[in-house]
Amino acid sequence: MKIGFIGLGIMGKPMAKNLLKAGYPLVVYDVNSASVKELAAAGAETASSAKEVAQKTDVVITMLPNSPHVKTVVVGPNGVLEGAKPGMIIVDMSSIAPLTAKEVATKAAEKGVEMLDAPVSGGEPKAVDGTLSIMVGGKKEVFEKCKGFLSKMGTSVVLCGDIGAGNVTKLANQIIVALNIAAMSEALVLGAKAGVNPETIFTAIRGGLAGSTVLEAKVPMVLSGNFKPGFRIELHIKDLANAIDTAHELGVPLPLTSQVMEIMQALKVDGKAANDHSGIIQFYEKLAKIEVRK
């Protein structure tokens, strides 16, 4: 199976490298020529357009910033569908609006092309070590054809339902992650302001009911003042915007999500949009006039 990979950003580049390490022939394309050269040096074939990637491969993976980018790359001029053959599979691993996933899948079906929406969770560290959680929407038989190579990028690969279900599940994931980071931030700022060592708080609560994967990943970053992005605040804003829009279409209120969205928007205005989402704590630190550090 020859695989195309379009989108070699913070997440896409290590994901593509893991496919190469697993022995899959890979054709790559990105507007960032430096990333393309890096993958070529690792053994990938290169293409000059999304159309060319599709012409050379059996499966095309896209890993792009948001819904408009996926529509442009797949449906637009010189896009994947212009080079696709009947029977090809598109696996969109971007985090996009569920309705966009359905729309693109409909366009693909008109050309005899199958599609899965398969967004991921875990950030850059898990993309690098191949331990992402992958949430998939689409036909079971198409999922079974793709599960093998998906498992080279993630340790949890779950079919969640029909097309769009992957992104609905990702939105649920992003709501829980955002609220966890905000709760962690409130708690640590309270503890620090009260004069209790935040590292001690972390040690004391991590083994109890408050312990979580979020806590384990993000508290060490906060304590060291390291907000280098594994997952940028601006990308989490995008995901929460998709969650809120989808919820409003379905008649589902999201009051807590909306509050965290406004916190992230405030950080964006404060010039911190490119920080890791653990940087949510900086909003609380500014209000309380204290920093949570070792």
Residues β-bridged to residue 121 = 133
Residues β-bridged to residue 157 = 134
Q: Residue 230's closest CA among 94, 121, 95, 117?
A: 121
Let me know how long the chain is.
294
Residue 79's H or E segment, with its range, is: none
Residue 193 in contact with residue 290, Cβ under 8 Å?
Answer: yes
In sequence order, the 6+-apart residues with CB closer than 8 A to the CB of 282 are 227, 267, 270, 272, 275
- Residue 17 CA, chain-centre distance (Å), reads 17
Phi-psi domain of 72 (left: phi exceeds 0; alpha: psi -120 through 50; beta: other): alpha
In terms of DSSP H, where are the helices of the chain?
12-21, 33-41, 50-56, 67-75, 80-83, 98-110, 123-129, 140-150, 165-193, 198-205, 213-223, 233-250, 255-269, 281-288
Catalytic residue among 17, 126, 170, 218: 170
268 belongs to the catalytic site:
no
Residue 14's φ and ψ, nearest 5 degrees, are: -65, -30
| DSSP 8-state secondary structure symbol assigned to residue 42 | T
Q: Which residues are catalytic?
A: 170
